[in-house]
Structures are given as structure tokens and as C-alpha cells.
Amino acid sequence: MRVKQLSPLEKRRIFLVLFTIILLFIGIVGKLFWIQIAATESYSSHDINLLKNSVIQRQKALVLDSGRGEILDRDLKPLTGKMIKSLIVFPINSKTQVDSQQVNQLVRILQTTKERWLDFSSHLKEPQVWSTIQDGKATALSAAQESQIRMLNLPNVKVAEMEDRYPTGMTARQLIGFIGQNPDRVMSIYGADLEKGKLAITSKIGGAGLEKTFDLWLRGVGETSISYFTDAGKRPLAGLDARMIAPDNSFYPVKLVTTLDGGIQQQIEALMDQMQIRDGAVVVQDAVQGDIVAMASRPNYEPTQVDLASNNWSNYALKATAPGSIFKTVVAAAALDEGVVNPKETFNCEGALGKYGFTCWLRGGHGPLTLEQGFAQSCNIVFAKVMQRLTAAKLESYAHKLGVLNEVGWTGKTDTKQILHQLDAEESGQLFGAHTPHDDEGVLMQTAIGQRDVMLTPLQASNMIVTLLHDGKGYSPRVVKEIRYQTDRVMETFSPKVLESEDGRVSAATSRTLLNWMKEVVTEGTGQGLKGAKWQLAGKSGTAQIQNGKQEKVNQWFIGYGPAASPQYAVSVVVKNLNPSESNKSIPLFKGVMNILASGSSGR
């Protein structure tokens, strides 16, 4: 059989194929050499440490501290929890010997049962913190428990400090807010940090409240975790078992120092719960410059288990709602400053106006009243007749002057030149609806008594009192006064700001007149339920009829100040969505809040 001779061209092709295969083989060998020996600590342009990552594959870690900044009250007491001693339990190979007697001792120390402990520890796939309650929060250990557990020297447990950011009993939850995952927001706001690897798409960021508005500062520079290293058989590596990994930076996390009084906040929330306030808010402001001392909202919620659909996490102190007769303060200010009413002039209330179906809350009528008396008795007929002498434009102007139409919370530039709104999701007030005819007399009369389309927030209401206490000069209320480094060196300061309006200010004379009339509300008018309080008080009541679905409900308000002789605080309270037949809760709530403030002031 004759063997065919290869042509020179065919021989050349075979040579090239073999040469290419040899080059590929050399390339693969070289790549393996580079990965396994030459570049184990700096692989690729991203400087990936392969040695480190090979260990991480067998590393079990648990975050102990998010590295997030603290939120403190004005006395530097923590509002967002504290560090607690907790028991970290690691998953290890079941063949690793754990003395049964040691387990029994541990069970006694933890004050649990052996069944509960074995059920918890034997099914772990990742490190977990020991918890005796269903929500999974770490159980705080006493110093004695810590000492006894350390002496046992068990291979699968370790006592460590852990952050309890949202502890049971935490107050000011709606104001402080919560953190959570929000990939879309991470990409839109922190895209640069995402590219640099400073945070992941799944990183938790501020979702509401101060946690959201101050997220840029609170995020910190890294978390603290405890890691447990095992070999391929999940056996602890000698000398490399449990290790703490934390950022090396003495300046972080920062401290957010608020204007809140934690003790007063706690007492007010306890009072609201005691009174079974289902839906409402309380705002307390310092009369000196309008700083927020307390801000409470109900219903409450759990920051670690947020149901976004429920709105329980929403801060109702910053949400606009129908004000009812507290809005008569704005009408009275306009009437006095514009001089449309003679102080001695009387208006006759017969219980009904005789048109538009407009009536007074007192069915039989009040009889002849001056504007001053009409304010004390909250007479609808008096204010309807006064409104006939004002225009929609004038009323709107005075609403602006008293700060009940715009957002009033502290807003300004920070040292980083960013515009900061301290209060998250604060709403504006409203005078007229989008399609409401402003020149309709019936509409104006309903508007004058805080009905129809009128809306304002509890913060705007209390801040209106602060404005009157300063002869018409308003303040933009702060809730955060400074940010400090961990070393207590001040990073940012937020100075008090005057709230300016293009419409100017209510006159000092009118401001003082209205404050005096508020005293009469308590001594002779609708606020007589405040008699007997620890301080002599002054203010204005309000009840707004609202429609909640097909049901008729009411909002009950009281706004005012105390003590009447030398004001220290401005307060607004609203109890929302009550049945019209329910007894008044706003006046007892206001009285209780003021009594808390009176007790707190005497103790300072």
C-alpha cells in the first residue's frame, strides 16, 4: 500500500496548529502560575486578594456594629440604643467535641432549657446571636453571665459587644426613622461610592426620618464584625478561630446631637399610650428659639420590621390635616392688623348665619360677642362675619406671615455646600384647594373656621405660637443642633434660623393681643378644662369635621403655651379620626404634656 506524501503546504498547516496548541498550553500554565504564586495578593486591575478570599470562603461572619452614627438627645443620651454584651454562636462541625456538662452549665447561665439551646445551636448555617425572643433581637447578658460563659471556654460561642440600634421601648421612632435596603436609591445617590466598593447595592441606608435626612453623615466608614475561620471540614482553625474585624478610624462613627429631651419625649409617649391615642401627634418647642424638644406620633411601629403599606412609620407631626378652629388665630391676626374690627364692636350669634347652611357649634347661639369674646368661645358666626370684611388674598398673606402654609423645619446649606432639610417628608399647609373659587363668600366663611380645604401640620401650629411669642418673628425649628466626631470634636453646627416671609410679619401689638386672648380661652372659654394644671396655661382649641371614607370623623386640637406668665414652651396636640360622639381628648392630652414639662423644668 502506497503512503501518500504530504505536500509542503499541508506540513506547514500541521506545524502551525501544533505550535498554536503549545502556545495555548504555555499560556494556561503561565496563568496558573500567576494566580497561584505570583499575584495571590493583587490579582487583576481590581487588586483582588486571592489568599484573603480563599480564607473568606471558609469564614463565617456576623455584623456586630453597622458603624452607623449615633443619634443623641440634647443631654448626649442615646436615642438609637446602645452596645450590649451578647452571645455569638458559630456553626462548627458536629464532630467537634463539646462537653455535655459544659452545655448544661451554659444552659443554666442563659436561664433557658437544654432543648431550646440544642434546637438553636444545632441547626446553624451562619453565625447567629443568641435570642430568647421571637423577633431575633440579641439578648443582653449581665456582667456575671459574661464572666461565667468566658470561663466555660466553649469552642462555638463567644461573648461580644453588639449594637442594639432600635431597642425595645425606643422613643421618637417616627422622627428618628429607620434603615433598610433600597437598591434604586443607592444607585441614584451613592453611585460613586458603589463603584469604589464603599458600599454594596444591598447596603442598608436611611429609609425615613433623621436616618434618611442625615444618612450622608450617619453611614460611617465601615462595619464591625466577628469572624470565625474554619478549615474545609468546618473545624475551627487553631489560632485563627474568632477574630474581630473593624475599621481603624478614631473619628467615626459620628454623633448626631439633637434638640430633643429624651426624658420628656418618653413621658409624653407614655401619656399618649395611657390615654389610648390611636391616631395623633404632639409637638413641643422651646419658646426661646423654637427648637423641637419633643415630637411624638401615633400609631407606633417597629423600626426593625417596617410595613411600608401601613403608614405607622409616618411622622404625623409633619403631616397636614384639617385644623378646625385653631385656624381662627390667623383670621383674628388679619382682622386686628388690618383694623377691620373695632375692639368694642359686637357680633350677634343666634346659632346660625341664615345662609350657606352655616352654623355655630353652639346650637342655641352665643348672643352678642366681641371678637375677643368670640375667640375665647370659638364662635363660628363671629368669624364668618369678620371674614366678610377680609379678602382671600389678605387671609393668605397672614397665613404666610404666621408660617402655616410653608414647610417650616430647618433648611439650609451645610459645610459641604449641600442643601439639607432636617425634617424628612415635612408637608406644606394649604388654604384653598386647586379648583376652589377663592372669591366665593361661602367658601371664605368655611375657610375662616379652618374647614373646607384648610390643612396644616402640628409643627406649623406650634411654630405659629412661637412666632406670636416673639412679636411676629418666626423661627425655623431645629431638631439637630450639631454633628460631632467620635472624639467629640464638632464637625457641623446648625445655628438657629429666623423664618422669613415675603409677606412680612404680624405686628408685635397683634401678637401680644392674641397671646392675651389665649389666656381668656382657658379662664373663660373653650379651654377651661386646663384649669388646675401645674402651670397657668393659654391656648386655642379646635375641632375639625373630616370625612374618612364614608364615615364622618373629627380632629381634636389644642395649641398654646405655658406657663402663661413667663412662657417656656409652645405645644400643639392633635387627636385625629375620632368619632364625633367621643369625649374631648386633646385638652386632657395638652394638660398632661404641660404637666410633664412643668415637672421637668422644676427638676432642671
How many whole angstroms separate alpha carbon 459 and alpha carbon 571?
Answer: 9
How many whole angstroms separate alpha carbon 272 and alpha carbon 285?
Answer: 18
Cα 514 from chain centre: 33
Residue whose C-alpha is closest to residue 537's, from 515, 562, 503, 556: 562
* Residues pairing with 285 in the sheet: 292, 570
How many whole angstroms separate alpha carbon 577 and alpha carbon 118?
Answer: 49
- pLDDT of 473: 96
The pairing of strands 224-229 and 82-89 is unpaired
Cα 465 from chain centre: 24
Q: Grid coordinates standing for 301?
A: 411601629
pLDDT tens track for 374-402: 999 999 999 999 999 999 999 999 999 99
* Residues pairing with 255 in the sheet: 70, 484
What DSSP designation does 362 have? S
What is the SS3 string spanning 278-347? CCEEEEEEECCCCCEEEEEEECCCCCCCCCCCCCCCCCHHHCCECCHHHHHHHHHHHHHHHCCCCCCCCE
Contact between 484 and 505 under an 8 Å Cβ cutoff? The reply is no
- pLDDT of 65: 84
Helices H, strands E: what count in the chain?
19, 23
From residue 290, alpha-carbon distances to 388, 471, 571, 572 in Å are 34, 13, 11, 13
How many whole angstroms separate alpha carbon 206 and alpha carbon 392?
Answer: 41
Strands (E), 57-210: 59-65, 70-72, 82-89, 128-129, 157-164, 178-181, 204-208
Q: Is residue 486 classed exposed, middle or buried when 0-12, 13-18 and 19+ CB atoms within 10 A define those classes?
A: middle
- pLDDT of 78: 95
- pLDDT of 242: 65
484 phi and psi angles, rounded to 5 deg: -115, 150
Is the predicted pLDDT of residue 50 greater than 50, yes or no?
A: no
Supply the DSSP string of 29-95, one letter for each residue. HHHHHIIIIISSSSBTTTTB-HHHHHHHTTEEEEEEE--PPEEE-TTS-BSS-EEEEEEEE----TT
How many whole angstroms separate alpha carbon 383 and alpha carbon 341?
Answer: 11
HSE, side-chain direction, 13 A CA sphere, residue 143: 0
How many whole angstroms separate alpha carbon 291 and alpha carbon 277?
Answer: 25
Supply the DSSP string of 501-553, one letter for each residue. -TT----HHHHHHHHHHHHHHHHTSTTGGGTTSSS--EEEEEEEEEEETTEEE
How many whole angstroms separate alpha carbon 565 and alpha carbon 535?
Answer: 9
pLDDT tens track for 4-35: 666 777 777 777 778 788 888 887 766 666 65
* Residues pairing with 354 in the sheet: none
How many whole angstroms separate alpha carbon 555 and alpha carbon 258?
Answer: 30
Confidence bin at 156 (pLDDT 50/70/90):
confident
What is the SS3 string spanning 2-30? CCCCCCHHHHHHHHHHHHHHHHHHHHHHH
First to last CA, the chain: 116
pLDDT tens track for 420-453: 999 999 999 999 999 999 889 999 999 999 999 9
Q: Among 42-56, 124-138, 170-184, 268-282, which is the least confidently predicted range?
A: 42-56
Query: Looking at this protein, which amino acid is placed at residue 327?
Result: F
Measured CA angle at 337 (ends 322, 473), to 5 deg: 70
How many whole angstroms separate alpha carbon 179 and alpha carbon 399?
Answer: 36
- pLDDT of 255: 96
Count CB-CB contacts under 10 A for residue 57: 7
How many whole angstroms separate alpha carbon 395 and alpha carbon 411?
Answer: 26
pLDDT tens track for 455-510: 999 999 999 999 999 999 999 999 999 999 999 999 999 999 999 888 999 999 99
- pLDDT of 238: 52
Q: Checking phi first, is residue 290 left (phi over 0); if not, alpha (psi -120 to 50) or beta?
A: left
Query: Looking at this protein, which amino acid is placed at residue 572?
Result: S
- pLDDT of 57: 40
- Element (DSSP H or E) covering residue 109: helix 100-110
Is the predicted pLDDT of residue 604 greater than 70, yes or no?
A: no
Contact between 520 and 376 under an 8 Å Cβ cutoff? The reply is yes
Residue whose C-alpha is closest to residue 573's, from 584, 587, 554: 587
pLDDT tens track for 291-345: 999 999 999 999 988 998 888 999 999 999 999 999 999 999 999 999 999 989 9
